[in-house]
Structure formats: C-alpha cells, structure tokens
Structure 1
C-alpha cells in the first residue's frame, strides 16, 4: 500500500450547523499563505495526498471534505445546492484565515466552486488554481420545466431507495472500482485511497463516503452568462490546468467542448493555462509530481 510522505491530521470545525472535516498538512507560520485544496464530486480530501507528498516546499495545506462527503456531516436535506459550497468555503476561510487571503486550488466540481468563489470574494484569494473545473454545457430557458420535473422525479427515486451507492465486499473491491474508473491509478495508491474513500458498515460491506443525494440533478439551469460575470470579477492570478485526455468529449459528446471552455475562461482577467500530459480527469492522481510543480511554480 502507498506510504504517505507527509502525514495529515484531522480537524473538525462547526460550520453552518454541520461538523466539517478538514484534513491538514503542515503548520501555520509567519509568511505562510494557507494553501486550500478542494476536491471534486464523489471524492474526498484525502485525494490530495499524492500532490501534497510531491510538493517541494513547506506549506500549510487545508483540505475540507465537502458537505455530505468523507467525514463531514450530511445536512438534514435530500438534495444539494451549489451556492452552499460557496458559503461553506466562505465560513471555512473565516475560521482559518479571517484576515489574510489564501491560495485556492480546486479539482473538477471543486474547481468550479473555486472559480465562482474567487469572483464573489476576490479579496480573499491570492492565487487561484483550477484543475479541470470546466463548468457545464450552456442551458436554455426552455429546459426549465423538464429540469424541475426531473429533479422531483429523482427525489422520489432517492426516497424509494433507488439511488443508493453500490456497496463493496472489501477495501480491495473499492480499490478495483477506482482502478477500473482510472486506468492510470497505480494499485498501491488505489489501495490507500480506498480506505479513505469508503468505510465498512455494520454488515461488513464497504460503502463510499458520499451521500447518494449528490446524484440528483440540480433543479436550476446552468447560466453561462452569470458564470462569465463572476469570472470577470476574479482579481487573483489564475492558473487553469487540464489533462492531456479530453474528458469533455467523452462526457458530453459534442454538447460542450474544450474549445467552448477555453472561450469561457478568456473572461478571467489574469489567466495562465497549463497542460498535464499522460493524464486523465484525475490528473492529481495520474501525475501528482507534475501537478505539484505547476502549482508551486505558479505560487512563486
């Protein structure tokens, strides 16, 4: 099994009526800018371990489990709303760095949160790094009736128990699931990550540490015009990293393309772009050393 080079510790923070789990590497100190790393959909904070191990310099790293993931509590609700992630991050920064801006790194869904948050609270972000936080295909108002109906139908499916996450007989089964999804993930890393990505229940079955309600579609449409306005408000120098593999073509089959994403991020005032070769969407797993080098060079 993979052996971390830098041990993390867990801190539990009361935040918006939830107990939030935050994984911490390193110690705060004079001149140290907190490096906040936020994970993606159906992931956990431990996912950053491989990048943290590849960092060459001493950092104070904070990585929360989003609400309903990992060791953070789930809200008393049956669906999740994207603005809550922005508010959770705002409260989290109030706790850890109330008087100084932070470096913010986000992957996938976390990258989308990071980009929007940096436009809402530009003074709180010193440097911004987005790893494949592409956003969503543009929507049309005509989609609203069907989208609301889909949301309500999926809520009913959740309450009927039809959206439960698949259990696995062992940590090995979870590791196999991870390597099946990501062919580049080394077996030793998959074994280590499996023990943080899932936990055994009373019946001995291993279950992913993610609320099944995360699978429910967002009731509200994705408004590209609003997103672009937020991008224009970002004042932090911004690095957008993408993998050599084109995940968007695989996911959206032409409904949303890398060219459209590149056009959107041109709205960011201080933009730098980078590419990680021999990597897929989980680029921080596939090439952690390259991702760490890009991040540190950018922060410097």
Structure 2
C-alpha cells in the first residue's frame, strides 16, 4: 500500500482530520468519502493510480477522526466544510474532486455555488435525489429525523475487529478478505467498553432530510461547465432505483455540458472498494482533459 499520513487542521472552530498521500509538490487531487465511510477507504484507488498526485482526503465532521457536531448534520452544512478545506489547501487554484456517494452529493451542490474552485469532477454514485429513497411524507421524514436527534442511540458494537471484518464481507460479498480486514481496521475504533465501534457520531446515521428535488439537481448539473464523469455500479441501489426510470436517469446525465457516465456492470455502491483499478483508470482519463 502507498503510505499515507494524517494531519489535523482547525478551520472556523471545527477540527478536521485530513489524510494525505503522495508528493505535496505534485498536482493536487481531493478525495471526498461517502456516508459511514472515512478517508482511508480510498486507499485501494490511491494504490491503483498511475500518476503521482498530492492527494488530500478529509474525514467529514462526524466521521473518522474529525470532530463531531452536536447539532446534527446536513449536506448544506458540509458544503461549508468543503469551502473551508479548499480555501485552506488550495486558496488560489481550482482543484479536481473525486467523491463518493454523500461526498459526491455535497459536491453537486458546492460546485454550482463555487464553480471557479473545481477543475474536474468524478462523481461516484452521487445521484441524489434517488427515487423513493425517503418513505412517507416530508412531515413524517422530518419527524423521524427529530426523533433521531433526540435519541440517536449508539449503533451496533462488535466484539472485535474480526467480527467487524465479517460484517463487512456479509454486506459486500465481492469484497476480498484482505480489503475487508483493512477496512475494518480503519472504520472501527476500540471503545472504553472493550468493544469495536464504527468511527462515526451516532447522529450521522440520519441526516437532516431536506434535500434537492430532481429538477434542482438537473439545474445544478446544467450549470457545471467543467469536465464531469459519473461512475455507477450496475448492481448498486442507485441502479435499482432507476431501473424503471431510465428516461429520468438519461435526462440527468444529458444535463451535464461536459459530462458522461461510466457503468461498471458488476459493481455495487462501493465501487472504490470493489473495482479500484477501473475507478483509478477512469479518474486519470478524465483528469487528462
């Protein structure tokens, strides 16, 4: 594995953990993880990149080693975090962003607001709003969120890292054992109770449910004047959600002025875990534009 190191920065009163790979003098590449994930899980893609990069990968607040937010979490608040991080690490130059799932949905919003800050965008499974993802009326969804904020719970602990590794392989049967072991070592943290807990604030398990409408996403994507590549897994829940809504999906991709989609037929949602070599090739091909 390519070596990484950690650094901590305090911006706007918030403490961020940032993982770094590569040569600080090389071209900068930001990597933004998804929900219930952390920066270290880009390791497999980083290992597969052919070129030399200065890779900057933060843990979002509430995840990994970054500070927690007692007021809960939302995609809009995370755009503030991204703005601070880009201003800190690349104040004078636009940077490429590779982002997965939640990180990509944050980027969808951010790029529309700060188009001059991003040069290229690789969107891995960041297609929100996803059809029928939230069940019930808006009032019911908000009510469930308020209930969760009041009593977030602690999530399921594991007896040891081996049990967490088994759980990861149960969730994703395409995950090789050595990758599952690495992910468990990074995603889990030993608690004072002697059990292994996921390195995430319990409040992150349910986000503030006010998100984009389909028409708003299309408007955002129409305004992206940079090269964009959307990568989707053929077996992911995203693909299943759009199985009978192909016109909707095609309209979204067509809205990107310089965008296209790559479908990895055998991939599920965590393509960067399952197919890092293919993902790395697609990333570097886009960045050559």
- 2:22 corresponds to 1:26: yes
How far apart are residue 241 of structure 1 and its match?
0.9
- Counterpart pick for 2:39 among 39, 45, 49: 45
Q: In the TM superposition, what are the counterparts of 1:269-284 in structure 2 within 5 Å?
A: 269-284=257-272
- 2:189 corresponds to 1:195: no
Provide Cα deviations, 1:226-268, integer angstroms capped at 9, x if missing partner: 2222222212110111113142255x597x8455233223222
Preserved CA contact (<8 Å) 1:200 1:206: yes
Q: Determine the C-alpha separation between the residues in 2 that align with 1:267 and 1:297.
A: 21
Provide Cα deviations, 1:163-210, integer angstroms capped at 9, x if missing partner: 321000111011111111111111111111111101111221000001
Provide Cα deviations, 1:22-76, integer angstroms capped at 9, x if missing partner: 10001222xx431101011000001100000000111111111001000001013
Q: Determine the C-alpha separation between the residues in 2 that align with 1:200 and 1:82.
A: 28
Q: Determine the C-alpha separation between the residues in 2 that align with 1:150 and 1:70.
A: 25
Task: Provide the secondary structure at the position in 2 that maps to 1:94.
Answer: helix
In structure 2, do the counterparts of structure 1 residues 219 and 189 end up closer, same or farther at CA, with 3 Å as the change threshold?
Answer: closer
Q: Determine the C-alpha separation between the residues in 2 that align with 1:258 and 1:133.
A: 16
Q: Determine the C-alpha separation between the residues in 2 that align with 1:277 and 1:147.
A: 32
CA-atom RMSD in angstroms: 2.1
Q: In the TM superposition, what are the counterparts of 1:175-214 in structure 2 within 5 Å?
A: 175-214=165-204
Tell me the residue number matched to 1:60. 54
Tell me the residue number matched to 1:96. 89
In structure 2, do the counterparts of structure 1 residues 157 and 103 end up closer, same or farther at CA, with 3 Å as the change threshold?
Answer: same
- Counterpart pick for 2:275 among 275, 283, 287: 287
Task: Provide the secondary structure at the position in 2 that maps to 1:278.
Answer: coil
- Counterpart pick for 2:77 among 81, 84, 105: 84
In structure 2, do the counterparts of structure 1 residues 218 and 258 end up closer, same or farther at CA, with 3 Å as the change threshold?
Answer: farther
Q: Determine the C-alpha separation between the residues in 2 that align with 1:280 and 1:146.
A: 29
Matched residue count: 286
Q: In the TM superposition, what are the counterparts of 1:247-266 in structure 2 within 5 Å?
A: 247-248=237-238, 250=240, 252=241, 257=245, 259-266=247-254
Q: Which runs of 4+ in 1 moved over 3 A?
A: 137-140, 256-259
Preserved CA contact (<8 Å) 1:235 1:270: yes
Structure 2 length as normaliser, TM-score?
0.92
How far apart are residue 151 of structure 1 and its match?
2.2
How far apart are residue 221 of structure 1 and its match?
4.8
Q: Determine the C-alpha separation between the residues in 2 that align with 1:219 and 1:241.
A: 24
Q: In the TM superposition, what are the counterparts of 1:133-152 in structure 2 within 5 Å?
A: 133-137=126-130, 143-152=137-146
Tell me the residue number matched to 1:17. 13
- 2:124 corresponds to 1:131: yes
Q: Determine the C-alpha separation between the residues in 1 that align with 2:239 and 2:223.
A: 29
How far apart are residue 216 of structure 1 and its match?
2.2
Tell me the residue number matched to 1:112. 105
- 2:68 corresponds to 1:74: yes
